Amino acid sequence: MPDGGALILVPTPAKSLGDYAAIVGTEIVDNLRARAERFRGARVLHVNSTSFGGGVAELLYTLVPLWRDLGVDTEWRVIHGTEPFFHATKALHNGLQGAPVPWTVEMRSHYLTVNEDNAEAFEGDYDFVVVHDPQPAGILTELIEDRGRPKGKWIWRCHIDLTSPHRPVWEFLEPFVRPYDAAIFTLGDYVPDGFSGPEIAVSCPTIDPLSLKNIPLDRAIVRQVLRRYGIDPGRPLAVQVSRYDPWKDPLGVIDAYRIVKREVPELQLALIASMASDDPEGWEYYRMTEEHRAGDPDVFLLSNLQDVGSLNVNAFQRAADVVIQKSVREGFGLVVAEALWKGKAVVGGDVGGIHLQIEDGRSGFLVDSVEACAARLLELLRNPSRAAAMGRAGRRRVRQRFLSTAQLSDELALLERLSG
């Protein structure tokens, strides 16, 4: 058993679904309450690998308390892990997104050992257990082998783009996720060919319009935040918010900025990240990004290490003339929806879940190269009225499809199906 004993309980603040009625309408809120009534008192557990620093953690900080407000007894717990385990699962993650990573016997061993230990630490009976992403996916198989199949319905929630996984990696993981009762993917295209066993559901991640990262901010506060980090509020600013990760292509963002800088010499660029405990590769890519910055005083590399929290990210997105998300592979990209919700035009990679959010030429632009990213960034900087119109269109799209209440509805639909 891991030294820490049982899986780590993550506390979350209380939330009221009624507070969202002013944004989405009372009809949607009332419908959710009526549908959730049949699950009142049910026990639900969410399991993942970290309580901060990524999109899954952000989702759960909102959804867990909202489920509780609906009368469902919902918990969130984090697995115990080791440094070699997280190095292995980072390779697993990259391989599932298509990178030809080495997948060694040692990596497999670390994965199996940690999942076995966490299965041993698993306690309690639940009506539904939702396991997020590859890191804890092996717990169910270990439980079945050790104790027999646990009570309740088990759901694997995949937040990764699995359109073309590295075969050795997927062949290793697939037997662990096949015993689940259901599997949720962000896009139907992400379901690997030939995958069978669980009931398949498709559901997009969503953003919380009432979180610190998304609430309205006074313009004076926005300017104050920029000045705190040495950014000039009077000069144009491009912002990308995402991990230091090759899939997010921060080096390519800097290259695009340099092209635009020739035409707009006053341009500034802020790359903002949250360094997560389950992402050891992030530190190495931060170092590479710092080297690529080459001392440019108008390129700012910021993270939670400089005390950049949710409110500061909110301010940077609101201050941006254009938001960039130049991903080369992206499961969804919550930061795109966040920027669109703030009325910002977004230049995003022409990949994965970004397609769902950006209507090319309407709420932003989809690009597939450094040069295209630079051209669209320059176009929006030179046409602020068009950028503003795109931002308005993007906000309407997020209100319709990508707020927390939409995800609650999708999850309720799955629970209804699994409950017959």
Domains with residue ranges and CATH for the chain:
8-206+403-418 (3.40.50.2000), 219-401 (3.40.50.2000)
Q: What is the mean pLDDT of residues 21-25?
A: 97
Query: Residue 278: its pLDDT value, please?
Result: 56
Between CA 198 and CA 196 the distance in angstroms is: 6
Residue with tokens 């439980």: 143
Query: Residue 277: its pLDDT value, please?
Result: 58
Kindly report which listed range (258-262, 302-306, 358-362, 396-400) carries the lowest average pLDDT score: 302-306
Q: Given pLDDT bands bounded at 50, 70 and 90, which one contains residue 276?
A: low
Arithmetic mean of pLDDT over the chain: 95
Q: What is the mean pLDDT of residues 118-142?
A: 97
Q: Nearest 10 degrees: CA dihedral of 281, 282, 284, 290?
A: 160
Maximum separation of any 2 CA atoms in the chain, in Å: 65
pLDDT surpassing 90 at residue 272: yes
Between CA 201 and CA 256 the distance in angstroms is: 37
Give the full edge-to-edge strand order of the sheet including 43-48: 8-9, 73-78, 43-48, 128-132, 153-157, 182-185, 199-202
Question: Using alpha carbons only, what angle is made at residue 328 by residues 323 and 333, rounded to the nearest 5 degrees?
Answer: 50
Smallest Cα–Cα separation from 330: which of 375, 286, 371, 367?
Answer: 367
pLDDT surpassing 80 at residue 21: yes
- The bridge status of strand 237-241 relative to strand 199-202 is unpaired
pTM: 0.92
Q: What is the mean pLDDT of residues 279-295?
A: 87
Smallest Cα–Cα separation from 317: which of 213, 230, 167?
Answer: 213
Query: Residue 303: its pLDDT value, please?
Result: 87
Query: Residue 117: its pLDDT value, please?
Result: 97
- Rg of the chain on CA atoms, in Å: 21
pLDDT surpassing 50 at residue 232: yes
| Collapsed DSSP state (helix, strand, coil) of residue 116 | helix
What are the tens digits of pLDDT across the range 70-116?
999 999 999 999 999 999 999 999 999 999 999 999 999 999 999 99
> At how many degrees (to 10) do helices 83-96 and 167-177 cross?
110
Asked if residue 275 lies in contact with residue 53, where contact means CB atoms within 8 angstroms, the answer is yes
Q: Which two tokens stand for residue 148?
A: 């027999």
pLDDT surpassing 80 at residue 4: no
Between CA 136 and CA 148 the distance in angstroms is: 18
Q: Given pLDDT bands bounded at 50, 70 and 90, which one contains residue 54?
A: confident
Query: Residue 1: its pLDDT value, please?
Result: 43
What are the tens digits of pLDDT across the range 351-402?
999 999 999 999 999 999 999 999 999 999 999 999 999 999 999 999 999 9
What are the tens digits of pLDDT across the range 240-254?
999 888 999 999 999
The DSSP letter of residue 34 is H
Q: Which two tokens stand for residue 40?
A: 């009142």
Smallest Cα–Cα separation from 366: which of 320, 321, 325, 319?
Answer: 325
**Percentage above 90 pLDDT, the chain:** 91
Task: Give the count of beta carbons closer than 10 Å to the beta carbon of residue 268.
Answer: 25
pLDDT surpassing 90 at residue 55: no
Residue type at 34?
Answer: A
Between CA 402 and CA 165 the distance in angstroms is: 26
Q: What is the mean pLDDT of residues 334-340?
A: 97
Query: Residue 22: its pLDDT value, please?
Result: 97
> At how many degrees (to 10) do helices 404-418 and 26-36 cross?
30
The DSSP letter of residue 369 is S
Query: Alpha helices of 262-353 — where are they, by DSSP H?
Result: 281-293, 310-319, 334-341
pLDDT surpassing 50 at residue 2: no
Give the length of the chain.
420
